[in-house]
Amino acid sequence: MEQLLLLIFIPLVGAIVTAFAGKSAKIVSTVFSVASLVLALVIACNFIPNASTQFEVNLPWIADLGINFHAGIDGISLLVVLLTNLLVPIIILSSYKHDYKNPAAFYALILFMQTGLLLVFTALDAFLFYIGWEAALIPIYFICAIWGGKDRIRINMKFFVYTIAGSLFMLMGIIYLYLQNPAHNFDIQAFYALNLDSAQQGWIFWAFFIAFAIKMPIFPFHTWQPDTYTAAPAQGTMLLSGIMLKMGIYGVIRWLLPIVPTGVHDWGQLVIILSIIGIVYASLIAFTQKDAKRLVAYSSIAHVGLIAAGIFAFNQQGMQGAMVQMLSHGINVVGLFFVLDIIFSRVKTNKIEELGGIAKVAPQLAIAFLIIVLGTVALPGTNGFIGEFLLLMGVYNYGIWAAAIAGLTIIFGAVYMLRMYQNVMLGETNSLTITFTDIKGTEKLVLYTICALIIVLGVYPKPILHLTEASVQHLLEQVNQKLNTVN
């Protein structure tokens, strides 16, 4: 109990301290983020990999409304808790070469966002989940709006309107479930136990799914994403792509499937169709991109589409694949955006046609970039392989044609990612890249860490699979039991 409270509130305390740290904000935020990572690793080491909820805390909060500060960790939530606490210090370290205006506010917002994310990933009370959901949105909006690039105000307003609209749909669903609950509380198990008819489950499904689909995002709720990823500062893009989109995936697994299984059964096929359309659409659009950052943004949509299809295929392989790929995608996409940030900081462009020959003058960067790209395209032996293999197996068990089309994400991804690498890194240097300098200092630390994770998790993914297996199996059994009871 005390460990989980500490895990949630260390970043919050860190945000407050960092806000008043002045020029030392960078160091202070690093210390707090590393402290969070160490505590998360301690929790992981003490975690028993079964289906139970552990490190549970349940304290009265707003008793008159049945709201408790109820949080806990199982195998599913532990994976994203580890991802969050791993990536935040990496993202902070990746910013060390930048001199952001008002750094105290910048780093305080990152830590405040981490608090919101941890609330989302550990909440066992729907009201607490919603508070975390909104708390994670506010800091990333200001990070993108204040430190973003050209046209950032218009782009971030679109992002804000999209996500707030989705959140309001979810809030209506939460309130409705609260009113249907005889105990009049927001406890997740009470929501799981509700016996809603098919019509009720149908509209609750869409109320929650729209919020989650926007956050992930999947087609056709994705239109805010490419512009936002491109205009956001590098660390903002890493937070959005590496961690924040996992809120939507996690929300589907934790809240949508167990609460409205009939709704998922009725509408799941449509979601798989939308996901597969998104895979093909985003991949084709990625082929045409001239800006490397925008190409990676569309690549992310394609990968998330495959994760969504795996979840709604609703079998052990698809669900396990989604869990592993959440972790792998977070690591890989942060690595990709960091490399592009390094390139931009040197030559002030991410235009693919203006680059080339960087491998000749920066071989260490080229090798690290290649490892990250190979992880992204799911080369066997890298972290991307096992997740995509399980996802495709899960979709195949759902339907062979769905798997055949969804599998295009691997083929298309390999083509546009390797072509981008070739045009950026290989060939002859030009007037822009001839003076390019290789990575050093914190750049090495971040990229070497990411590359090590890609290789280690690719060669030996068993601990991650073992961590989530019991919780995923329990979730599937729970949902199937409820479906059989309804039928």
Q: What does the pLDDT average to over 294-312?
A: 89
Predicted confidence at residue 87, as pLDDT, reads: 94
Is residue 220 reached through a cis peptide bond, with omega within 30 degrees of 0 on the bond before it?
yes
Residues in the chain, how many? 487
Judge if pTM exceeds 0.85: yes
Q: Is residue 150 in a domain? A: no
Query: What is the percent of the chain where pLDDT is above 90?
Result: 37
Contact indicator for 68, 178 with CB cutoff of 8 Å: no
Per-residue model confidence as pLDDT tens digits over 316-373: 888 999 999 999 999 999 999 999 999 988 888 888 888 888 988 889 999 999 999 9
Q: Name the pLDDT band for 486 (thresholds 50, 70, 90).
A: low
Total of domains in the chain? 1
Q: Is residue 327 in a domain? A: yes
Predicted confidence at residue 21, as pLDDT, reads: 83
Predicted confidence at residue 200, as pLDDT, reads: 87
User: Most distant CA pair in the chain: distance in Å?
Assistant: 71
Q: Is residue 19 in a domain? A: no
Per-residue model confidence as pLDDT tens digits over 200-236: 888 899 999 999 998 888 888 777 888 888 888 888 8
Residue-wise DSSP of 194-238: ----HHHHHHHHHHHHHHHHHHTT-TTS-TTHHHHHHHS-HHHHH
Per-residue model confidence as pLDDT tens digits over 117-176: 999 999 999 999 999 999 988 898 888 888 877 777 788 788 888 888 888 999 999 999
Per-residue model confidence as pLDDT tens digits over 104-116: 999 999 999 999 9
Domain residues for 321?
261-487
Q: Is residue 107 in a domain? A: no
Q: Is residue 477 in a domain? A: yes
Q: Is residue 329 in a domain? A: yes
Q: Is residue 326 in a domain? A: yes
Q: Is residue 480 in a domain? A: yes
